Structure 1
């Protein structure tokens, strides 16, 4: 159920639709769910490491089936140059890129092909705290992704994210929603930590490096040099 505040005591309420449209086939959806992480590292180690200069690439943020990379290419080529200026093995790239990237511009089926990759966003600046928790500047627009936080009622800025990295400042947020029980509509307020250094999918070290969970190891067992 979606709601929009019109006045102090007036809300516009819209029930979620009972049907939805999906352009992704069930075969693709289930394949991504089952094999995303394997194909994720397969692309990195069997393609990127073999034909791209990894000294000019920095992994910024990733999730189940997405990855954001900082690319140090040609500063005069603009932010949509992709990997063009960091290719170290052009022959390998030309022979294998077609298996990953779209080859037909504007063709949705080609873009959605099984095991294929597509560009989600391209920008000039990005700061990430965790998966689904980042700031990116795309052209003149700024995009902040903060899972679990209603940004319509909580003003989140890049400065708050940077303050968390620099000073460890935690930003609390309040989510407001409408709930109905026994035919009685109520306004429910939920307070949560919106920006925090806590990362539940990896161990974050003092220099913001993310290390995998290994049984018996704590953050203090890792060394930062």
Structure 2
């Protein structure tokens, strides 16, 4: 029953998101120095204002406000040095998949994680995601994400797909908008708020106090 499995997965992930956030992060982490950048079905990206000296791979080390609670609880949620693969990928636990210096999130499921300063020509893209388009086929770079964010422009690419019709294999060229800064499921409001997309309702219809 794929439908039941999908519904269970979505609901269960949302529950464990809230469980991790409220029963761990909020209790022992200084959330004034942590920002939620992007959340997906099974992923969470955080911007952490930690050390300006140490390499960016320090995790939550410099934003702990209750060290005793953290030491007591963190192994229930997070991996640690020299832990086994089973301990790292434990059921209902949190695994660190990627870390970087900068993060650009134009819309949900459309983001780029990279290192090196954005003024540096040697930008190294670590994670590059676009909804519905393979990052390999699209050949979109970190600079494209930054340009879309700063200039509000649309970036289109032509991709090639194979299609079988009447036992004949054909190559189809399609032009798709891969970076637009918009999303057809939610409306992003100021201060990081968002609301479900409703046809005919725009940002101007909402008042945030």
Q: Sort the TM-score into its range (normalised by shorter chain).
A: 0.7 to 0.9
Query: Does 1:105 find its partner at 2:88?
Result: no
Between the aligned partners of 2:195 and 2:31, the Cα distance in structure 1 is: 21
The aligned length equals 197
C-alpha displacement of 1:199: 1.7
In structure 2, the CA distance between the partners of 1:217 and 1:151, relative to structure 1 (3 Å rule), is closer
Equivalent residue runs for 1:96-175 within 5 Å = 96-103=73-80, 105=82, 107-138=84-115, 141-142=124-125, 143-175=127-159
Between the aligned partners of 1:113 and 1:219, the Cα distance in structure 2 is: 41
Between the aligned partners of 1:202 and 1:115, the Cα distance in structure 2 is: 27
Task: Tell me the equivalent position of 1:55.
Answer: 32
Task: Tell me the equivalent position of 1:72.
Answer: 49
In structure 2, the CA distance between the partners of 1:168 and 1:208, relative to structure 1 (3 Å rule), is farther
Query: Does 1:190 find its partner at 2:190?
Result: no
SS of the residue corresponding to residue 152 of structure 1 reads: helix
How high is the TM-score relative to the length of structure 1?
A: 0.76
SS of the residue corresponding to residue 36 of structure 1 reads: helix
Query: Does 1:213 find its partner at 2:190?
Result: no
Assess if the C-alpha contact under 8 Å between 2:184 and 2:197 holds in 1. Answer: no
Q: Give CA deviations for 1:88-136 in whole Å, capped at 9, x if unaligned.
A: 0111111111110124735222222211010010111110112321111
Q: Which has the higher helix share?
A: 2
Task: Tell me the equivalent position of 1:11.
Answer: none
Assess if the C-alpha contact under 8 Å between 1:176 and 1:188 holds in 2. Answer: yes
Task: Tell me the equivalent position of 1:21.
Answer: none
C-alpha displacement of 1:153: 3.8
- Is there any run of 5+ residues in structure 1 with no aligned partner, and where? 1-28
Between the aligned partners of 2:70 and 2:184, the Cα distance in structure 1 is: 35
Between the aligned partners of 2:207 and 2:133, the Cα distance in structure 1 is: 33
Between the aligned partners of 1:31 and 1:153, the Cα distance in structure 2 is: 32
SS of the residue corresponding to residue 61 of structure 2 reads: coil
Between the aligned partners of 2:43 and 2:131, the Cα distance in structure 1 is: 15
**Backbone CA RMSD of aligned residues:** 2.8
C-alpha displacement of 1:194: 0.5
C-alpha displacement of 1:189: 1.8
How high is the TM-score relative to the length of structure 2?
A: 0.81
Between the aligned partners of 1:124 and 1:214, the Cα distance in structure 2 is: 32
Assess if the C-alpha contact under 8 Å between 1:59 and 1:68 holds in 2. Answer: yes
